[in-house]
A and B are shown apart, each in its own frame.
Chain A
């Protein structure tokens, strides 16, 4: 199971990003656990400056915007 973190201060874009990832994972039949991280210290630890950012299995894969479904599919492969 992939551990996915969506980093962001809880704005709409971050919530939507988390929802989109869950939705794409469902369609692909990939088991994921998506959590939303709002703690600024966590963002600092990953070196993230623009949110929403996506961390998959402790690796930062995206920052600064809502990812597109195509990109998410790539990450979940």
Chain B
């Protein structure tokens, strides 16, 4: 089914641009055209299809559902909804407050917010088509696990002590109301044309946000693919060096991209022989840890909590990296 993109790349690279197939440049250009065209088509089709289905799922409904849930289930559900619920990252603060004021524990809310950037339908699709279902499954399981364990940890250390005072007060009020939601969100019955309108605007919105990341991601991937000598990465950054995992995590902090941009890079890193654990650590750090997002969270959290969450993520991604480098021979 994906051969059409290979043919398109063959035709453009060798016939139109007249680049010799055995040249490094030809290799890189071919890779770039094939991947970009494939990803664009997949994105457009799949975002629309998925948006049609989940048009009626929104953060208000998730909050109503999570409010008053028992803790054990709550973390799993929080992380699960984080993966499938669409919201703009600029809504993180109001979502945090909305959950909090419904009496939902901080850890459960954070399970939702941490999983959300790591897993979404676009990321899953790209992983499936570029790296296969096995890798996708591993990625989703790790993303959920980081969210769930992160949430458990934050509640275990009583993170709510370190909220800004107005947020702490909102949480207190919410708890007193016994998890009953203040303003019950109305459930709207959606017609097909409502769904179509939602899906269309989602497609345009997501596409206009991610198209440049795809170019950047695949561009870097193509450069790696064509110009970094085979075996170089394996030799210098292979799993023999324990420090390469924490180094990859640290390198990912200042680099900020969403999952869409980073997945094409993952593909070429893995093809070039970077161990799977190191790749995962680098990519998850790039996607989930970014300074601008953390500065935003300062509005509801005190420094101490902010730093705790930050370090917690760095440690978990490093552990994930080491774990998968050890397991990689079995995968």
Question: Which positions in A face B, CB cutoff 8 Å?
Answer: 7-11, 13-14, 40-41, 43-44, 47-51, 64-65
Chain B proximity of A41: nearest CB distance (Å): 6
Interface residues on B, range: 20 to 34
CA distance A3 to B15 in the complex (A): 61
Chain B proximity of A36: nearest CB distance (Å): 13
| Chief secondary structure at chain A's binding surface | loop
CA distance A19 to B300 in the complex (A): 28
Chain A proximity of B209: nearest CB distance (Å): 10
- Chain B residues with Cβ below 8 Å from A44 are 94, 97-98, 101, 166, 170
CA distance A43 to B93 in the complex (A): 9
CA distance A65 to B170 in the complex (A): 25
B23 at the interface (CB under 8 A from A): no
> Are B166 and A49 in touch, CB under 8 angstroms?
no
> Are B88 and A13 in touch, CB under 8 angstroms?
yes
CA distance A6 to B221 in the complex (A): 40
Question: Which positions in B face A, CB cutoff 8 Å?
Answer: 58-60, 63, 87-88, 90-91, 93-95, 97-99, 101, 166, 170, 182-183, 201, 296, 299-300
In the complex, 10 of the A-B residue pairs with CB atoms within 8 angstroms, ordered by the A residue number, are A40-B97, A44-B101, A44-B170, A47-B98, A49-B60, A49-B91, A50-B58, A50-B59, A50-B60, A50-B94
CA distance A9 to B93 in the complex (A): 8
Selected contact of A41 from candidates B90, B166, B182, CB within 8 Å: B166
Instruction: Count contacts between A and B, CB distance < 8 Å.
Output: 57
> Are A9 and B296 in touch, CB under 8 angstroms?
yes
- Chain A residues with Cβ below 8 Å from B98 are 44, 47-49
Q: List 13 extra interface pairs beyond A7-B94, A9-B94, A49-B91, CB under 8 A.
A: A9-B93, A13-B88, A14-B90, A43-B93, A44-B97, A44-B166, A47-B98, A49-B60, A49-B63, A50-B58, A50-B88, A50-B94, A51-B88
Selected contact of B91 from candidates A41, A47, A51, CB within 8 Å: A51
B100 closest partner in A (C-beta): A44
A12 closest partner in B (C-beta): B90
> Are B183 and A47 in touch, CB under 8 angstroms?
yes
A63 closest partner in B (C-beta): B60
> Are B59 and A11 in touch, CB under 8 angstroms?
no
> Are A40 and B94 in touch, CB under 8 angstroms?
yes
A65 closest partner in B (C-beta): B201
CA distance A28 to B166 in the complex (A): 40
